[in-house]
Amino acid sequence: MAALSGAVVAPRRCALGAGAPAPRRARATVQPVRAVAAPDASAKASPTIVKGQVLHSATKEQLDVVAGLDAFAEEQVVPILKPVDKCWQPQDFLPDPESPDFLDAVRELQKRTKEVPDEYFVCLVGDMITEEALPTYMAMLNTLDGVRDETGAAPTPWGRWTRQWVAEENRHGDLMNKYCWLSGRVDMRQVEVTIQNLIGSGMDPKTENNPYLGFIYTSFQERATKVSHGNTARMAAEYGDDVLGKVCGAIAADESRHEIAYTRIVDEFFRQDPNNAMVCFADMMRKQIVMPAHLMDDGKHGILNSGRNLFNDFSEVAERIGVYDAADYCDIMEHLVERWDIEHREGLRGDAAEAQEYLMKLPNRFRKLSERAAARKAKAPPVRTQFSWIFNREVKV
């Protein structure tokens, strides 16, 4: 996850309207923000709501399904992880500091990146910062009821998956960070400030401590990060930096493998509990997928650019040069509708049948809205915007 993985990653939250409003929830008592323990599944109390998000929204029926998935996770999820000795490591792609040719190799790296456009580096840095906020994504997974790592070293398949997934993802930010540092094209102190601010701010994916919502979110995000890193890999090769292309390609391959794990989990939700899985899928699509780095802040972007938002501008650059755009968002939505065979689910109860109808119409509706928005943007003059990540140089947004 470029984001969770991953999150993603370069993409922004599309502001195109997600369709029909979410169904009305039962009355609830609004409480101040505080630590909330997972409730007794048999208790019948008003839900706690923080910033419009219902905490611990999984039903007893959903939690019972999750409780029975340990063997499934052991057999179908954990094996997707690679043994450490089979994984690439960041140093495999970087100049060897012990080599007598180290400085020559660094100069060669800088020569390769010299002609890479600033717009590309804005996207690469934004992707890297998203990957570096990994503590947030581990924390997010450990908010999910029924699958959290209760001790930090639990031997359960869910605990092992979370820790080892994080360990694999940790290589992504390390590699991208070192490559950007060696390139000399990036103001690393501003990048480091942005990373610290982002980890400190966290994220709000609106998954409600609910494993159904959480794994639908990660299924979407891993695919989004795969798309984004895949596009930066292709572009790097086109700009003449084959090594950077391999870097981004290796990261995209990890994201693709992790996507398989998360979509398998949701496959099983649909197999055992199609009604709740359908309702939760529609719920996440109505909310729209908030990208992991949506709270990024470098402390300067608004000052340099009359109050503009850093994440929004980074996302606009990514969309303009083709790293990730609204069409990609639509493609992922369409892919998941097909993957989980939404069209052919039969015998659904009322709310799930309504969710099914909504989901079947959503990709086309969203695509039309995104095309209209793109047409409007094409008519608007670009704005020259400074990014502290590239020493306050300007790019078009």
**Whether the predicted pLDDT of 16 surpasses 70:** no
Summarize the confidence of residues 25-47 as an average pLDDT: 43
pLDDT at res. 52: 66
Summarize the confidence of residues 309-313 as an average pLDDT: 98
pLDDT at res. 1: 56
Write out the residue range of the structural domain in which residue 375 sits: 60-396
**pLDDT tens by residue, 152-165:** 999 999 999 999 99
Prediction pTM value: 0.88
CA dist., res. 391 & res. 177, Å (int)? 16
Q: Is residue 50 part of a domain?
A: no
Residue 354 to residues 109, 273, 330, 332: CA-CA distances in angstroms? 55, 16, 20, 21
Q: Length of the chain in residues, anyone? A: 397
Is 344 labelled as part of a ligand binding site? no
Q: Percent of the chain having pLDDT more than 90?
A: 84
Q: Is residue 40 part of a domain?
A: no
CA dist., res. 189 & res. 181, Å (int)? 10
**Whether the predicted pLDDT of 295 surpasses 60:** yes
pLDDT at res. 5: 35
Is 222 labelled as part of a ligand binding site? yes
Q: What pairs with residue 54 in β-bridges?
A: 49
Task: Supply the CATH number for residue 326's domain.
Answer: 1.10.620.20
Single-letter amino acid code for the residue at 147: V
Summarize the confidence of residues 53-68 as an average pLDDT: 95
Q: Is residue 244 part of a domain?
A: yes
Q: Percent of the chain having pLDDT more than 70?
A: 87
Q: Could you tell me the pLDDT band of residue 54, with boundaries at 50, 70 and 90? A: confident
Q: What are 304's two structure tokens?
A: 């340099």
Q: Is residue 44 part of a domain?
A: no
Is 172 labelled as part of a ligand binding site? yes
Q: Could you tell me the pLDDT band of residue 4, with boundaries at 50, 70 and 90? A: very low
Q: Is residue 30 part of a domain?
A: no
Angle, helix 211-238 to helix 242-272, in steps of 10 degrees:
160
pLDDT at res. 378: 87
CA dist., res. 255 & res. 226, Å (int)? 5
Query: Which residues belong to the active site?
Result: 88, 131, 169, 172, 222, 225, 254-255, 258
295's CB contacts (< 8 A; 6+ apart) are 198, 201, 202, 203, 204, 311
Q: Could you tell me the pLDDT band of residue 377, with boundaries at 50, 70 and 90? A: confident
Is 169 labelled as part of a ligand binding site? yes
Is 394 labelled as part of a ligand binding site? no
Summarize the confidence of residues 103-117 as an average pLDDT: 97
Q: Is residue 14 part of a domain?
A: no
The dihedral over CA atoms of 269, 274, 278, 281, expressed in degrees to the nearest 10, equals 10
Q: What's the total number of domains in the chain?
A: 1
Summarize the confidence of residues 191-210 as an average pLDDT: 97
Q: Is residue 53 part of a domain?
A: no
**Whether the predicted pLDDT of 133 surpasses 50:** yes
Q: Is residue 96 part of a domain?
A: yes
